[in-house]
Every structure is written in structure tokens, then in C-alpha cells.
Amino acid sequence: MIFRRSILAEIVQNAAMAAFGLLAVALTVLVVRLVSQAASGDLPSDLLGTVLGLSMLSQVPLVLVLGGFAGVLLTVQRLARDSELIVWRVAGVSRIKFYDPLIVFVMPLSAVVLWFTLWVSPWADRQRAELEASAATRDETQNVAPGVFRESGDGRRVFFVMTTGEGRNQLFARLLHDGKTSVVLAGGVELFQRDGAQWIRLHDGRRYDEGDTPLAFRVEQFTWQELLLQSKTSDVPKFKLKTVSLERLLMKPGREELAELTRRLGLPMAVVLLTLMALPLGESSPRTSKGYTLVLALLIFVAYTNFINVSYGWIARGKLPFTAGLALPHALALVTWLALLLWRRKRG
């Protein structure tokens, strides 16, 4: 019991530190990407925090898998470096006994990853997709407010509304069409919908259209003029298969649905086999460099997770049946683990 508690406590500590570090990296990358989208107008700034939180939930399963793998690997390497592996074996703890705390650690971790991949991450992906779809079809007139410059999502229209002392709204607009700029000044503004599209009607104004030569403008005075703000779009946006709930995924399982199920089940199975491989990977002589071990572990992790995605594609295209596509990556990982065990046993 002392052996299990001491090893398990160190594994949990190292895994938590690795997972928090990976989450910090993922958070930084997501913040940079989302701020860039918000700056370009592809994502409303008021949705930035919500989309960031939902995106982080989607990254949690992969972070947990890599964090758990790194936690076990770092613990075994520390035991080997300080010669504690030898001390425990002299005390009667065999190599197989070392898998006892590993199994105690990885089984709850695998259950958490399974919960995320089957339910939490698809829900977060769908919520994010719905927010992005609603932002893409958001009525531009919601952003038009007196005294504030507002730019459309595509950057082709800029509006500024000013309220006069008589309570009337006057509008200034810059429009970009076919590479040419138009400026519109109107003494009255009216918003309305027609055939499912959003329009704005301008009263008593002037329009300045850029000509073909520099500093050449065509001036047009109008009594009223209408501008299309938001065209009619589909009421039901199309979402990727990764956003579909587990219940709907199993309702009519075709090739793509089975492939998606394979991808969701892949990471919970991968974290178990990666943890098992961490023991022979981390065992080495105290004089041996740890650099090649870390490089080999990283290559195994990248190859394993990428092969799960390759298997997903093979199932979706009908090249592999569901059971074969689900078992193949993990069977290769199991063979790799056995090969690592034989290699370590030959080296003592």
C-alpha cells in the first residue's frame, strides 16, 4: 500500500502539472486566434469569452491524454534517475507490480476522457457552432446605434447615426462595392424587412459614388433610397458531425456516423495504452540520456493519435469496417507496448 500511494501521488502531481501547462498553451493559442477573428469582424467581440470557454472544453480530452501520458513518463524517469526502481525491486516489487498504481491512475482518467469525448465535447462544439452561425447571420442593424461607428462583418459597410435636436436620426454611411467607395448622407433612417431580408430606407440625402479616375465622384441627390443589409439565409445551419450528440449518432449509424464514433472512443482507449507504454519507455539507466526517450514518446503519441484519425477516414470512405477500424490503431499500440517490454527485459 505504501508503494502504491507514493507512486500514485507523484503520478497525479506530475500529470496535473503537465495538463495545466498544456491547457495554458492551448488557451494562449485560442486567445490569439479568436482575437484575430474578432478584429477581422468574423466573430463579435461580445461572444469572445463564451466561444473561448467552449473551445477549451473541446481541447480537454487531448490535454488529459497527453497530460496523463507525460505524468506517468516523468514519474518513471524520476524513479529510474534516482535509482528507486532498483530499490523497489530489491525490496521484492517486480516490474509487473509497477502497473498496479498505473492502472489505479489511468482507469478514472480514461472514464473522464470518455465522458468528455462522448458528451461534453460534442455539446461544446455544437454550442460554439450555433453561436458562430448566429453571429454570421446577425442583423447588422442591431449594431447601428446613435453616436457610434459600426462596421459590418465583411467590412464593406460602415454606419454612423447621429440624433438631431428634433429627435430625427441622420445617417452617414461608407459603402464598398466592386472596389469602389460610395458615401451616403441621409436626413432620415427607417429599418424594415422584406421577403426575409433586412433593409434600410434612407430619406432626403445625397450619395457620392467614386468614379473611374482619381478624385472623380458622381453626386446623386435622392428623396429616398433603400439599401440591403442582410440577405435571407437558411433558418437551419448545417453542422459538422463532431457536433452531433451520441444519441443522434446512434440513431441512424451510417459509415460517417460509425467513423465519428470510432474517433470518440479512440482517445479513452489510447490513454490506457499510452500509460502502459510509459513504464518501459521511462525505464533506463541513470547514466542514459533522457532526450531520446522523450523524443520516442512524442513520436509514439503523435503516430498513435494520427492513426486514429486515419482509421476514421478509412471507415468513413468504406475501406474498413467499423470493428476493424476501431481495433486496428489500438492493436498496433498493444504490439508496440509488448515490443517495448521485451526490449527492456533484454536490457535488464
pLDDT of 21-56, one tens digit each?
Answer: 999 999 999 999 998 887 766 677 788 899 999 999
Give residue 234's pLDDT.
Answer: 46
pLDDT band at 68 (very low <50, low <70, confident <90, very high): very high
Calpha distance 312→283 (Å, rounded)? 33
The residue-averaged pLDDT of 170-190 equals 84
The residue-averaged pLDDT of 154-178 equals 76
Task: Name the least confident of 72-86, 111-125, 156-170.
Answer: 156-170
* End-to-end Cα separation, the chain, in angstroms: 26
Nearest Cα neighbor of 249 from 230, 234, 263 is 263
Taking a C-beta distance cutoff of 8 angstroms, is the pair 153, 230 a contact?
A: no
Give residue 156's pLDDT.
Answer: 75
The residue-averaged pLDDT of 145-173 equals 72
pLDDT band at 72 (very low <50, low <70, confident <90, very high): very high
User: What pTM, to 2 d.p., does this model score?
Assistant: 0.77
Taking a C-beta distance cutoff of 8 angstroms, is the pair 207, 219 a contact?
A: yes
Q: What is the DSSP string of 234-259?
A: -SS----GGGS-HHHHHHS--HHHHH
Position 89 pLDDT exceeds 80: yes
Query: Of all residues in the chain, what percent carry a pLDDT higher than 70?
Result: 86
Average pLDDT score, the chain: 85
Give residue 162's pLDDT.
Answer: 79
Task: Name the least confident of 22-36, 63-77, 187-201.
Answer: 187-201
Calpha distance 345→348 (Å, rounded)? 5
> Which stretch, 146-160, 175-189, 245-259, has highest mean pLDDT?
245-259
Give residue 235's pLDDT.
Answer: 47
Instruction: Give Cα 279 to chain centroid, integer Å.
Output: 30
What SS3 class is residue 175?
Answer: strand
